[in-house]
Structure 1
Amino acid sequence: MPLERRNSWRLPAVYCRPAVTLGRAVSTEGAMHDVRVCYLDEREQLVSAAPAALVGVAVEERRPPSEPVAFHGRPGKLSDCWCATTNGHVVCGSLRRRRVALELDFDPEITWIGGEPVKLHWQGGQGRRRWRPDFVTRTVTGARQVVLVEPEKGGPQWREDLEVAHQVAMAAGWQVSVQRVPEGVRLANLEWAADYRQAVPVAAAEREAVEDAFRRERPIGEGARASGVPYAVALDLVYRLVWQRRLDIRWDRPLMPRATAWLADGAA
């Protein structure tokens, strides 16, 4: 039977800041004026609406309202990122966004990811502004989140973008989450495990044998050999189980055969 993408426990919050809930106090002293949200409706017609009109609208499932563009000052090129969460491609305007999309795809609390599905227009302190938040996601509880990639350097423009995001979220019944870009060993491990995120048919007996081999913490290569499953098959299965969070690892150590893994809580 095909392996499920993952199960239901949370992503270690190493590089993720918690979502900012609607209860957070947001100053209205510098509130943006004449805020409009552009998005595609169910017929893929462009709509410009007040933020409050977006309550209950599944904008995360819509395409961007206009052609995406790469952002200045962000390394990489415009490209889509395939996500297991959506079983399809998500728009990403930079390598930094792709790396955050990988974190979102790994988070079992997220059930849908939309890349740049809305464009915000408003009157700011320096005149008219427009901006596309990086992602809108839907969680297992049905809540919607505006997900923003934390910039390498903040500044007045970022603060204004963040303020208008809060303003829209409060009116639309959304939340705001600012995500740091994964880097270093964690990024390398995520990218390695992500190579095994597509569902493939796996014999239940093989999966159970590999999981049984990791009922205690041990090196990945050692456990794969001890499982009784052909080594190459077992090793691939270990990495799939890491992506699905059925096996835990130490994320500050490279995901190599000598790294250790163990059966995750709740996977037994």
Structure 2
Amino acid sequence: MGSDCAPPRRARAARDGAGGALVSLRTVDDSTVEKPMRQLRSAQVTRAKPWRTFRNRHGQKHHSGYYWCATTGGHVLYESRLELARLMLADFDPQVVEIAAQPFRLRARVAGRARRHVPDYLLVRTDRSVTVVNVKPSSQMSKPEIAEALAWPAKLIEEHGWAHEIWSGEDPVLLANVRFLASQRRDGLVADEVLDEVLGAAAGGATIRELLLRLQATWEPELLKQAVLRLLWQQRLTTNLRCRLDSDSRVEVCA
């Protein structure tokens, strides 16, 4: 005969924590796979589809959409402008080689309670280290219920050997500059010949204005501006992106 009594404390504790956590993935054919978190590998996540998608509707509070991502070569979803900002920074980061949005659903018993959580992003870096990102406005982080809702997934993710990041924003000037550079994130917009000439002219450092003057006899100014932005996006040129990017910004060739 079954019993409705609560399980012994030791049994409950055994199910709590990373050892008892379950992760659900949505496969490319829209079926669902659930497995113990201890068996989860980043390659399984990056091959999966986002756990949830969205539908735009009139009057919705959040600005959601799809961002064409140079890192993945395809569209990656975001559910708010803040998520888009974090996604764009990940796309700009040369150490990030894979990005998955809404990567999985995590289920676990925490302090005897059944809990569920879907992170915002999973990032894989060149050294194959993994960071799971949750994006939350700083205004919400002072709320105890929000802090607690993010604390238990962070603990399980870190016990799994992955890093966990709560991201609430960045320097607005940096974000504006990266957003501007992202206009040149697609391959093929500027010919390699032009990029190589701009790199050569930037040897030893120069302002953007000086680069345009050095090459104005060979190339149109607008094409040269595109080339500078493309090289900054590729991080073959560097500048201080925490200052407003303009014609007087000094650029250097990256080592």
The TM-score with structure 1 as length reference comes to 0.76
The residue that corresponds to 1:179 in the other structure is: 167
Q: Who is 1:254 aligned against? A: 244
Secondary structure of 1:262's aligned partner: strand
CA distance in 2, matches of 1:195, 1:201: 10
Distance, in Å, in 2 between the alignment partners of 1:243 and 1:50 is 39
Counterpart of 1:240 (choices 216, 223, 230) is 230
1:8-27 residue pairs with structure 2 within 5 A?
none
Between the aligned partners of 1:182 and 1:249, the Cα distance in structure 2 is 17
Flag the structure with higher helix content: 2
Q: 1:51 to 1:161 in 2, by over 3 A?
A: farther
2:197 is matched by which residue type in structure 1?
A: A
Describe the SS at the equivalent of 2:180: helix
| Partner in structure 1 of residue 95 of structure 2 | 109
Residue of 36, 42, 45 corresponding to 1:59: 45
**Worse overlay, 210-219 or 198-207:** 198-207
260, 263, 266: which one pairs with 2:253?
A: 263
Q: 1:97 aligns with which of 77, 83, 92?
A: 83
Task: Give the number of the structure whose alpha-carbon radius of gyration is greater.
Answer: 2
Contact persistence 2:103–2:122 (CA under 8 A): yes
Whether 1:49 and 2:35 are equivalent positions in the alignment is yes
Against the structure 1 CA distance between its residues 161 and 260, is the aligned structure 2 distance closer, same or farther, given a 3 Å change threshold?
Answer: same
Q: What whole-Å deviation, never above 9, does each CA across 1:75-96 have from its counterpart, x for those lacking one? A: 6322122110001111211110
Distance in 2 separating the partners of 1:180 and 1:206 = 38
SS in 1 for 2:21: strand
- RMSD of equivalent CA atoms: 2.7
Kept in 2, the 8 Å contact 1:146–1:165? The answer is no
The residue number in structure 1 matching 2:132 is: 146
What TM-score do you get using the length of structure 2 for normalisation?
Answer: 0.80
Q: Distance in 1 between matches of 2:176 and 2:42?
A: 37
1:77 to 63, 87, 97: 63
Taking the aligned partners of 1:98 and 1:60, their CA distance within structure 2 comes to 18
- For structure 2, the residue ranges without an aligned partner over 5 or more in a row are 1-12
What secondary structure does 2:223 align onto? helix
Q: Which AA in structure 2 matches 1:261?
A: V
5+ residue gaps, structure 1, are 1-27
| Alpha carbons 2:46, 2:99 under 8 Å: kept | yes
Alpha-carbon contact 2:72-2:98 (below 8 Å) kept: yes
Structure 2 counterpart of 1:243, one-letter code? W
Pick closer, same or farther for the CA change 1:161–1:53 going to 2, 3 Å. farther
Q: Distance in 1 between matches of 2:118 and 2:210?
A: 47
Q: Report the equivalent of 2:214.
A: 226
Higher RCO structure (Cα 8 Å, ≥6 apart): 1
Aligned pairs, number: 233
Per-residue CA deviations over 1:125-178 (Å, capped at 9, x if unaligned) read: 594332211101111122222122253132333433433333432454422233
What CA distance in whole angstroms lies between the structure 1 residues aligned with 2:210 and 2:246?
11
Partner of 2:185: 197
Deviations 1:75-130 (A, max 9, x none): 63221221100011112111100000011001111111000111122334594332
